[in-house]
A and B are shown apart, each in its own frame.
Chain A
């Protein structure tokens, strides 16, 4: 399987979006805050890596760190501004989309970062350089694999920690959590900035994998949607949901757009993707992963209960 370059590059994207999905999942599935503008954080991470590397030759490791700090602070300030003034629920979601669109337009007009013409990384030389995070497609596949594993383990770790309990309490009933002494305002800012910082890390690697950065594709509405499709299709708030969802959705989308191209039907992938999204939400409301879990339980599969404690979101 891994000999085929197409499969490798597709799996790299699937794993990267698993990681990005985990970061989004942390925010809604555990923290209870809906973001539909995650592209903002992904884009900030990508541009931090891109600008530092392409313009100054600084290692992407530094870029990743810069991006995480930058996106974390932007996320924290958006959260601070909105919760300060009691902007919440759907209004908060619309604020995230507005912030992302604003940033996208600003970056499209900013000559220093390449504006609409984009930013290009130098072509890979073929050798693997860990210190510069450069290598061939297979190298990036393992980077993405490590990142996805880190995301899954990290989410599991956070959700079992003190913070996980506090955040879920806050998600389920904010006033009750407050009454028990949880400083919900600070905790909401914390969960959003952690989610933003991890999304930026994913965005930085995504930019390296793609070799170029364009404001419309890295900060556009489309990317925000791609980020949240994995967790929602796979199962919100579950540990493996984002992985299962990305595995199902991304190859389907690629397949359909290839089919549409070869048949010369330009909208085919949109139609199938749309129909699939609606049907998943319609027939498997809590996602694919919980459905698999139910199926396994029904046929009495061996008990590995720690894998599938479901953490559903109820708004």
Chain B
């Protein structure tokens, strides 16, 4: 019997007769106390007294081993039930229905409870899930065929009407959910083809639409639950996932338990999942060390090294489908001049910024917004702009601004990486006689500024795609029709890029489409609309007591609970 089985047996034993287990612990504890008084008179003196109190604490704390090792009592107070996975969230969830799940706190919970028509594998490729097959016969049409024999956790079968109702829920104007754009932007129309199949027709071609049903926007929930709960659905989630919802203690904890009718045989391996809401980063890190938490997200950057050194935790790292960079206002002087944009790029020592500021937090961008591991990236063919001050000065002299200028750099503060980067860039550009004023904004102010689009000069911001496809980091950021209030913050406009990106949306040939996206990246890199900085890494510390899940770049759509196993099993 493994250690885990032993613990489970003890748990079961205690469940059958909690009183007896308690009595056993108490008598063992009292026996210990008697023994210790025999050779240590006055054991209630301060030191022994505290050990005794600690032993009492441990004895009452809920473990059968407690009474035998009383000098480190916390080990039992802190130890988790071996059949439960405990995950630390950095904030409370806004709700637990898929239509509202579009952030890093709700998604890890919701993705264990409900499932999409498709899913992403570890490389970001689409795989069947509730839909056993799907087709994309022309640029505007997608069909999905439902798998047989899948039931929700209440035992009712999944029907095609549930699928249609679930999609309608995501788009419902009364719900006003954050995922509605995924269907609304391409103008999707959903219809029932037969009892097993739906057809989705788009008004405008969208290659990225293929990924939508693998996100929470494609999760299937029972139509009956939508009708029954209405606005309260966010507190009563239900789906086909490996775990089912038990309770949500607002602000502190969310409990799930194994879905006994889960359609994938033999899964999940754990009986329960507990999500603890721990807003303070240091406390999450402490929880990992003590074993109170077995997984967690959003580790504070200055504590990554500490977590790495924990002997009971593996720190998984993967580069996200993200880009951190500075958009330059390509539509207005001084940055409407290509030479100025080039000069600025040559004047910045990106390598030094990486080593001194970014460190483990990300990898250097190769003059594109698409990270190397993201399908369709041109990173292999493009190179970061080297630091060359002479060339920068020469370009500046030839430009429309030979005497330098004053400009502004907007950045979200406080931030351990963005603000130092902004300061480094401010310093570097002094060599070109460019006087950069740094405008530090709160997150909310930055969103407002981006929406208004009236920033001056330069804006440092982060973008991440929801989909494993280069287009996700190109179309929103560089297509000319996506200028603010959309996300083309550089006001970039290039006819060739527009044409390539538009064509790529309707291209069914995967290889041809990939080439179009690579070509678009090459043109963009020549135009230098941004200062491309780095692609951020995701970190997931996972206790060594767990195995079976590997962090992916799209972890927030992952149902990790399906595959997690105890390491000793």
Pairing of A with B: no
